[in-house]
């Protein structure tokens, strides 16, 4: 039994960056452009509202707020819902994704008020199908007084209990967030999902945080490469300098040896202690030269090791990316093949599906919306008033209080208006319109009065 995913996050201002991500004005790196067309907008915007940010603003304008909205005040709450990848794949495979979306919308409408849910989008172009729901935190009731105000026992005018306010804090208290998780898990239990571990330290990683972490990792690798290059240059400079020092020390050593020989000859004559001193200094110089040579060799070994590690890391990352891309392509081809086989079987077992698809296209082309079309496809009639478009006549006709219904005649589906095929109904409307245009206008007779 899998787990549900319910994440709620406060948003400030118009939240245009998130709007661009959700509406796919900009395709993110973790999305497959070939699947973006599968994404769906689950809530239609009101007339004149073009995107999610505008929908948030429209709700704030029409809510009847009496207090001015602060510049840094939370205007919306981002809600992200999904489940474990395997369970979302199972729900999608079983053909229950639309049902899952509808149940999610009902849950949030019942919990926060349908008028406060201003946007909902289904994303299927990322690794796991998920929904983005936008909630405007409009609440009713008296604002909570601050603790210091209660201690001072100041008198404040008590506002009516039905005062409309914008307050995300009222909706996102610790106890309420816990209750949302419990009630949401109960609503999703029908899909074989359950609540996560209560009190778990696991945290949702937002899209913005994901890209920040990715950029941080990339910048870190660039910094590390630059540091390796710098250390390589430093080691090379030290190597050149050490070689020069060795040449200098060798010259000094030769001069010292010559001086020691002279001192020894002189010491043998004068019995001086300077000979032993020069010998000690000469030995010290030899040890220092040997130490420099060891340091140079160590630096060279370190440079080679660092270069090899860096090359190995880059090759590992490239190979990992190649493997992941190949696996993703294999999975996509496998899924396309499976869906093709399933589609062929479906068309073979249920030949009426093609006719149903054709009649669905006709309903939408005529002017019925998705909900009305879905009702008609179940065989139930609908009452309709509005305009209907005729492809044959290339114009719209006004329909007032008509009844639309789909009938099946020998396996063929027929869309009717007031029990007449829609083509026949359109021709009748066109004939009426043409007769109205061609009917001559009767001239009005003037009353000239009675002649005496």
d(CA 320, CA 285): 53
| Confidence grade of residue 30 (pLDDT, cut at 50, 70, 90) | confident
Given a cut of 60, whether residue 442 has pLDDT beyond it is no
Which is nearest to 335 in space by CA: 343, 346, 347? 343
CA distances from 206 to 80, 178, 201, 203, 274 (A): 9, 20, 16, 9, 78
Task: Tell me what the pLDDT averaged over the chain comes to.
Answer: 82
Residue listed under structure tokens 């949030």: 108
Q: What 8-state DSSP symbol labels residue 189?
A: G
- CA 266 vs. chain centroid, Å, equals 90
Contact 399, 386 (CB under 8 A): yes
User: What pLDDT shows up at residue 388?
Assistant: 95
Given a cut of 50, whether residue 26 has pLDDT beyond it is yes
Cross-strand bridge partners of residue 415: 406
Span 68-96, average pLDDT: 92
User: What pLDDT shows up at residue 451?
Assistant: 45
Span 20-37, average pLDDT: 90
d(CA 413, CA 426): 18
User: What pLDDT shows up at residue 450?
Assistant: 42
Pairwise pLDDT comparison (142 vs 108), residue with the higher score:
108
User: What pLDDT shows up at residue 182?
Assistant: 93
d(CA 392, CA 427): 9
For residue 50 the two structure tokens come to 């073009």
Pairwise pLDDT comparison (301 vs 419), residue with the higher score:
419
Given a cut of 70, whether residue 106 has pLDDT beyond it is yes
Which is nearest to 207 in space by CA: 31, 42, 84? 31
Which is nearest to 102 in space by CA: 178, 205, 187? 187
Tell me the DSSP string of 30-73. TS-GGGGGG-EE-SPPPTT--SHHHHHHHHHHHTT--SPPPTTS
Given a cut of 50, whether residue 286 has pLDDT beyond it is yes
The pair phi, psi for residue 48, each rounded to 5°, is 90, -5
Span 160-164, average pLDDT: 71
User: What pLDDT shows up at residue 349?
Assistant: 82
d(CA 376, CA 45): 24
Residue listed under structure tokens 């209080």: 401
3-state secondary structure of 197: coil
CATH no., domain 2-202: 3.30.930.30
Biggest alpha carbon–alpha carbon distance for the chain:
180
Q: What 8-state DSSP symbol labels residue 421?
A: E
For residue 336 the two structure tokens come to 């396309």
User: What pLDDT shows up at residue 312?
Assistant: 86
d(CA 246, CA 289): 6
Rounded to the nearest 5 percent, the helix, strand and coil shares of the chain are 55, 15, 25
User: What pLDDT shows up at residue 236?
Assistant: 72
Given a cut of 80, whether residue 58 has pLDDT beyond it is yes
Q: What 8-state DSSP symbol labels residue 27?
A: -
pTM: 0.45
For residue 69 the two structure tokens come to 């909205």
Pairwise pLDDT comparison (241 vs 332), residue with the higher score:
332
Span 39-52, average pLDDT: 93
User: What pLDDT shows up at residue 95?
Assistant: 94
Q: What is the pLDDT of residues 416-441, one digit of tens each?
A: 999 999 999 999 999 988 888 776 55
User: What pLDDT shows up at residue 271?
Assistant: 46
| Confidence grade of residue 109 (pLDDT, cut at 50, 70, 90) | very high
Given a cut of 70, whether residue 154 has pLDDT beyond it is no
d(CA 87, CA 93): 10
Q: What is the pLDDT of residues 181-208, one digit of tens each?
A: 999 999 999 999 998 765 555 455 555 6
CA distances from 107 to 74, 81, 197 (A): 22, 12, 21
User: What pLDDT shows up at residue 399?
Assistant: 93
Domains of the chain by residue range: 2-202, 211-333, 353-438
Given a cut of 50, whether residue 3 has pLDDT beyond it is yes
Q: What is the pLDDT of residues 217-266, one digit of tens each?
A: 556 656 666 666 677 677 677 777 767 766 666 656 655 665 555 555 44
User: What pLDDT shows up at residue 103?
Assistant: 96
Given a cut of 80, whether residue 373 has pLDDT beyond it is yes
User: What pLDDT shows up at residue 256?
Assistant: 60
Span 151-166, average pLDDT: 64
């Amino acid at each position: 039994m899998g787990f549900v995913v319910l994440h709620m996050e406060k948003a400030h201002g118009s939240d245009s960056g998130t709007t661009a991500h959700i509406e796919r004005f900009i395709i993110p790196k973790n999305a497959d452009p070939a699947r973006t067309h599968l994404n769906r907008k689950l809530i239609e915007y009101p007339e004149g509202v073009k995107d999610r940010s505008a929908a948030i603003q429209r709700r704030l304008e029409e809510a009847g707020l009496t207090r001015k909205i602060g510049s840094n005040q939370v205007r919306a709450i981002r809600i992200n819902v999904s489940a474990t990848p395997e369970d979302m794949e199972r729900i999608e495979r079983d053909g229950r994704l639309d049902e899952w979306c509808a149940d999610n919308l009902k849950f949030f409408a019942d919990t926060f008020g349908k008028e406060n849910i201003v946007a909902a989008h289904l994303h299927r172009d990322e690794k796991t199908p998920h929904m983005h729901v936008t909630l405007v935190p409009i609440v009713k009731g008296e604002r909570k007084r601050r603790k210091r105000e209660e201690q001072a026992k100041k008198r404040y005018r008590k506002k009516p209990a039905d005062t409309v306010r914008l307050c995300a804090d009222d909706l996102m208290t610790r106890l309420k967030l816990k209750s949302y998780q419990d009630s949401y898990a109960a609503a999703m239990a029908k899909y074989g999902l359950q609540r996560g571990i209560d009190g778990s330290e696991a945290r949702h990683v937002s899209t913005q945080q994901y890209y920040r972490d990715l950029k941080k990792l990339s910048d870190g690798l660039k910094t590390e490469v630059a540091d390796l290059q710098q250390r390589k240059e430093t080691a090379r400079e030290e190597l050149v300098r050490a070689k020069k020092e060795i040449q200098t020390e060798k010259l000094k050593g030769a001069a010292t040896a010559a001086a020691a020989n002279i001192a020894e000859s002189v010491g043998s004559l004068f019995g001086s202690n300077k000979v032993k001193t020069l010998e000690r200094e000469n030995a010290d110089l030899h040890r220092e030269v040997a130490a420099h040579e060891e340091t140079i060799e160590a630096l060279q070994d370190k440079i080679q090791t660092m270069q090899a590690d860096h090359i190995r890391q880059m090759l590992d990352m490239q190979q990992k990316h190649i493997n992941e891309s190949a696996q993703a392509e294999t999975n996509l081809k496998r899924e396309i093949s499976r869906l093709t086989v399933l589609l062929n079987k479906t068309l073979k077992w249920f030949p009426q599906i093609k006719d149903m698809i054709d009649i669905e296209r006709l309903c939408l082309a005529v002017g019925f919306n998705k909900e009305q079309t879905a009702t008609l496809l179940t065989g139930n009639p609908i009452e309709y008033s509005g305009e209907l478009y005729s492809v044959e006549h290339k114009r719209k006709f006004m329909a007032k209080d008509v009844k639309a219904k789909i009938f099946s005649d020998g396996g063929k589906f027929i869309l009717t208006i007031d029990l007449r095929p829609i083509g026949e109904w359109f021709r009748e409307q066109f004939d009426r319109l043409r007769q109205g245009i061609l009917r001559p206008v009767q001239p009005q007779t003037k009353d000239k009065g009675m002649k005496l």
